[in-house]
Homo-oligomer: A and B are copies of this chain.
Amino acid sequence: MTDPRLTPLAASLPDTVPFVGPETQERAMGRPFAARLGANENVFGPSPKAIEAMRAAAAEAWMYGDPEAHELRHAIAAHHGVGPEHIRVGEGIDGLLGLLARLTIGPGDWAVTSEGGYPTFDFHVTGFGGRIERIPYDGDRVDAKGLIERAEFAGAKLVYIANPDNPMGGHHGADTILEMIDTLPEGALLVLDEAYVEFAPEGTAPEIDPTDERVIRFRTFSKAHGLAGARIGYAIGPAPLIAAFDRVRNHFGLTRMAQAGALAALQDQDWLAQVQAHVTDACARIAAIAHDNGLVPLPSATNFVAIDCGADGAFAKRVLDGLVKRGVFVRMPGVAPLNRCIRVSAGTEADLDAFAQALPEALEEARAAD
């Protein structure tokens, strides 16, 4: 039953959600996962200084957080060498994508993204009545040129690309992104989601003039900085667009703990470097485990590895179910042909031991069901 007071748009929206949390699966199973490798979280955790900053802020939780996130915003601006008028801090990239969609997408407006790409972008565009063109991947990489061509054809307002990519883990070099910007149709905005960029090779993140009105880029503290549970990310973009977020955002929506934790995390670049090294090692081990089982790991510029299970989506789903059943939380892409893969996040040694143990059994079971 639908509430009769919903707007026609709200009434038309599906009841589906972009992701089901691992806790929901744990409740259904009646036990916790032994290894949490499905949400591309950072098992190596935030900087101890960030934890300490959040613990200190917890005692001050009776005060609202600064609605301007002034200190953090200025620190991020300084970190990137841009003015604070180009930075907007928000409740994760998810929250900021929602605000961007609200600002730019009205009923019937078009957005372009990749088929099988990050579903939360689609969720928000659809949620504001927008229409979506989805471009198939070019092999296992986002079809950057195809996105631009379709944007031109559709008269799209938003063109979304995650670089590095989720869920496949690949990346384009900065040159490709710069070429996308240069060929972007008039009136369109490139939405450059760089959630995983701290894990990518040098030369992935383009130098972009933040006054360039053709692009808004998103970064997060959820991945490399290990603060997924604090929900904080930011946008870098042209000042008039960044300013417009103030018209629609939840001004006191950022917690005090998140602001304090993010600031401390940003300032601890040594910890970040350690995390990057751990992630590199963990991804190499995931790839090795895949090889050991006769599977093909895709190259990763992120903190996860997509593993080609060598057959179709139904087969990969059986492998995934077998892993989940054995207490290893992983996810997989939602559409063919990407869904021949499962997606495994960088884990601790114990996490990957559990994965290494469960995978052969899950594979055997999946093959037996053929």
Residues in A lying within 8 Å of B, measured CB to CB: 1-10, 13-15, 17-21, 23-24, 27, 36, 39, 41-46, 50-51, 54-55, 57-68, 70, 91-92, 94-95, 98, 102-106, 109, 127, 157, 187-189, 213, 222, 226-231, 238, 240-241, 243-244, 246-248, 250-258, 261
Task: Give the contacting residue for A62; candidates B1, B41, B103; CB below 8 A.
Answer: B41
Contact call A226/B62, Cβ cutoff below 8 A: yes
Distance in angstroms from A15 CB to nearest chain B CB is: 6
Contact call B6/A61, Cβ cutoff below 8 A: no
The 10 tightest CB contacts between A and B, nearest first, are A229-B256, A54-B58, A61-B229, A23-B66, A13-B247, A7-B106, A3-B241, A62-B226, A21-B67, A64-B228
Which residues of the other chain, B, contact A109 by a CB distance below 8 angstroms?
Answer: 7
**Which residue of the partner chain B has the closest CB to A95?**
B250
Q: How far is the CA of A8 from the CA of B66 in the complex (A)?
A: 30
Question: 18 new A-B pairs (CB below 8 Å) besides A13-B247, A50-B61?
Answer: A2-B244, A3-B213, A7-B103, A7-B109, A17-B67, A23-B68, A23-B70, A46-B62, A54-B61, A61-B229, A64-B228, A65-B229, A91-B253, A92-B253, A94-B253, A127-B247, A229-B256, A231-B254
Distance in angstroms from A263 CB to nearest chain B CB is: 14
If over half of A's interface residues share one DSSP class (helix, strand or loop), that class is named, otherwise mixed; here it is loop
Which residues of the other chain, B, contact A65 by a CB distance below 8 angstroms?
Answer: 229, 231
Distance in angstroms from A304 CB to nearest chain B CB is: 14
Which residues of the other chain, B, contact A15 by a CB distance below 8 angstroms?
Answer: 243, 246-247
Contact call B51/A240, Cβ cutoff below 8 A: no
Give the interface centre of A61, A64, A188, A213 by most chain B CB atoms within 10 Å: A61
Distance in angstroms from A104 CB to nearest chain B CB is: 5
Distance in angstroms from A93 CB to nearest chain B CB is: 10
Contact call A5/B60, Cβ cutoff below 8 A: no
Which residues of the other chain, B, contact A24 by a CB distance below 8 angstroms?
Answer: 66-68, 70
Contact call B27/A70, Cβ cutoff below 8 A: yes
Task: Give the contacting residue for A105; candidates B7, B91, B238; CB below 8 A.
Answer: B7
Q: How far is the CA of A243 from the CA of B3 in the complex (A)?
A: 9
Distance in angstroms from A126 CB to nearest chain B CB is: 9
